[in-house]
Structure formats: C-alpha cells, structure tokens
Amino acid sequence: MRTRSSGRTRALTRAAGAAVVTALLLGGTPAVASAQSSPSPSAQPSEAATPEPTPSAPAEPSPSATPPAEPTVRVEAASADAYAARAAQIVAEMSPEQRAGTVVMGHIPSRDAETVRSYLAGSNLGGFLLMGANVGWEEQTRSLTDAMAVDPALPPLIAVDQEGGAVSRLYWDRAPSARELRDQSPGATEAAFARRGALVARAGISVNFGIVADTTADTSSFIWQRVLGETPSAATSRVAAAVSGESPYVLSALKHFPGHGPVREDSHFTIPATDATLSRWNSRDARPFLAGISAQAPLVMMGHLAYTAVNPAPASLSPEWYRILRDELGFEGVAVTDDLGMLVQSGRLEYQDPVQNAITALSAGADLVLTVARSTPQTAPDMAAGIAAAVQSGTLSEERLTEAATRVVALRLQAGGAGRSLLPCEGECAAPQG
C-alpha cells in the first residue's frame, strides 16, 4: 500500500525533473536550493596561514547534533511570455508540413502503445484525443500515454473528454458529475474538479475537455444533463471554480463556445441554429465563458452551432465568433474546434470534406483542429497535408498558420515543462487495478 510520505517523495522527485525539463526547454538553468543555512561569517576560513592539523582519532558525534537537512528543489514555473518566445523559435525552424501537423489533433481506436506511437511519429500531429477505445485500466492508459511522447522535448497534447457522469472515458472517476454539482456550492465544484484533474494527470493526460460552460434550464436539451448551472449566474460561479480546481493538474478547456443554451438539438448529428441576438448572448451565454477565461482556462472549444443573427456559419467555422472570443472576451489561449467529424455527420453537403473543414476553421481563427468521428488513421495526416497545400496555394495565409502553430507549441511546452503528467494521485482519485 502506498504511503503519503512515499507519494510526497515521488512528487518532489518528479517536480525536480519537471523543473529541469522546463529550464532546458526554455534555455535556462534549473534552480536548486539547499535547505542548509549558509555558513556564518565566523565560520569562513581566515586569510592567515593555519598550521597543519595533528592527526587524532575522529571525535564522537554529539548526541544532540542535528543532521543536515536534505537539499530541496525550488520549482519555478516559466512565464507565458517565455513559453511563447520559445514556441516562436521552434515554429520558425519547422517545415511547412510540421507546422501544419502541429495544429491537428487526431485519434485512432487502439490500446496498443506501439501502434499509437507509430501513428504520431509518422504524422507530426500536435495532439491525440483519447476515447473509450483507447482506455483499459489505469496502468494500461498510462503506458499508452507514455508511448506518445515521441519527442520528450515537445510532447503532443494528450486530451480526454472527462466531464464525469455521462461523459467519462476514465471509468474510475468517482468525483461528482455536473448534474450532482449543480445542487452544491461552487466550492464543491472546485474540489470535484481538483480530484478529477489529479486523476486525469495521473493517466498521463495533459488536457481535459471537461468543463461544460453551456447553460440551460431546458430539460429537453441534449446538453442539460452536462451543464454546471441552469442559470447564467449558477453556471458562471461553477465554471470558474472548475477551472481553479483543475489548473494545478491539467490544462482546462471550456466548451462549447458560444454556448448551446438557446438550442435543443444535438450537434453531433446536426448543426443546431438559433436566432438569438448578440445582445441576448452577452447577457446570458457569454457569462460562464468569460468567467472561465478570467480564471485562466488555456483552451476554448468552438461548438458546431449557428447563431444566425451573428453569422450564418457554425461558430467553429465563423471568423466573427473567433473575433468575439479574442477581442470582446479577451481570450489569448488556444481555440480548438469540436470534432470536425461531427460536421460530416450533419449530412450537410458543404461539410462533407474533412480536409476543407479543417482549412476553413483555421482560416476563421482556430488554432487546433480535432478529428474523431468518421475518421480513419489517414484522416488527420490528410488534414495536415491539405493545410500545408493550402498555405502553398495561398488559400490559407502563412501568417495564420504560424500564429496557430505558435499557440499550440507554447501549450505543448507548458504541458511538458510543467510535468503535468508526472503528478502523483492518492486516495479517492486513485484507480482500481486490473
């Protein structure tokens, strides 16, 4: 049975490794501090010559002598500016194909570590989304995610949809779901997502697509079971609390911007639409997202729904919604699309080409495009190739791709340098084995 002291020892060891990784990635030197005090001035050697000591038997240690404390490591997080600067250097040295690959997050339904590693190694993809088909027991999942670090200096973003309740890929998550947390205080939400974040990190996962910032009281809506609050005020406080709870462990994503509140239909199979005005959105659905952004959520997931009074296109493909996210809500992190395969599943003829969907999303303002549904092992690599070709032809600007790639690489550096997948998990967040 694991003891708390052994967990703390591993935590310090892993934190030390994370500090070294961060320093090396950003071109610095890891800071090491000693718990021993500096010698007093009187203990310093004299400038005058001293006689050679006469050999004698070693003195017996005093019973009251205190053994010297072990050295400790001071872990200092790199600043966002430092990650961005290093990311810009890395992206500048990338080939067009590497830049295109890093803005694509793919998926294959396999639990075999070598199969998944080969998939990532041969494609330059910037991320991988774990689904149920990838997850067995906890140790198997950790072995799988460990194998994904093809380049430990720049690991991929490894993501999961771990909301709890109905949307759970890690079946051993016992923390309360959103449906339960709606009836409890925001403090309960923070505690639940701290447990969930630790559990996700223990599995070697760096990103959780797990914070639903949509708000609705409509029980017929497909999203109702998953919202943290039925009113904007209730959702706002709990979304901020969820981000605060998770942030020490994983990178949080808010979803599904700009919010499913005014619609009932399931965007996995259609493109829901509402005629709600921007003014109405600002007073209701915007508020939980703004709270999560203010709490420093580093990712926002763009939803496949249309606010036709704002723009007829789905938000994931709408330049206006990306502008609102950046300019009006002040978001500076990574904007990731919801699964682009959902657009294909809508049956709409204009969205049947997954590569074109990816190019359109990036042109609109997305930084990371995600593909799962209706995809094959070749879908994500084909997207990357199509994105590179679009830059070469002028369909997608090189500046836009560079901007997106830099944001994604900065987040990859942050995930790797912070050692997020190396944190210990004890007590209720630990998983049963076998």
No. of H helices and E strands in the chain? Answer: 15, 12
Find the catalytic residue in 268, 327, 339, 382.
Answer: 268
Query: CA-to-CA distance for 392 and 398, rounded, in angstroms?
Result: 8
Q: Residue 382 catalytic?
A: no
Q: Which of 197, 259, 250, 275 is nearest to 226 (CA)?
A: 259
Contact 127/207 with Cβ under 8 angstroms? Answer: yes
Query: CA-to-CA distance for 392 and 396, rounded, in angstroms?
Result: 8
Query: CA-to-CA distance for 190 and 183, rounded, in angstroms?
Result: 14
Query: CA-to-CA distance for 219 and 190, rounded, in angstroms?
Result: 25
Q: Which residues pair with 207 in a beta bridge?
A: 159, 251
CA dist 9 → 14, 72, 319, 423 (Å): 9, 11, 49, 11
> Which two three-digit tokens encode residue 62?
């005093």
Q: Write out the DSSP string of 4-37.
A: HHHHHHHHHHHHHHHHHHHHHHTT----EE-SSP
Q: Is 389 buried (19+), middle (13-18) or exposed (0-12) by CB count in 10 A?
A: middle
Find the catalytic residue in 173, 214, 285, 338.
Answer: 338
Q: Residue 256 catalytic?
A: no
Contact 292/239 with Cβ under 8 angstroms? Answer: yes
Query: CA-to-CA distance for 286 and 38, rounded, in angstroms?
Result: 54
- The per-residue b/e assignment along 357-379, b for 16 or more CB within 10 angstroms, e otherwise, is bbbbbbbbbbbbbbbbbebebeb
The residues assigned a catalytic role are 268, 338
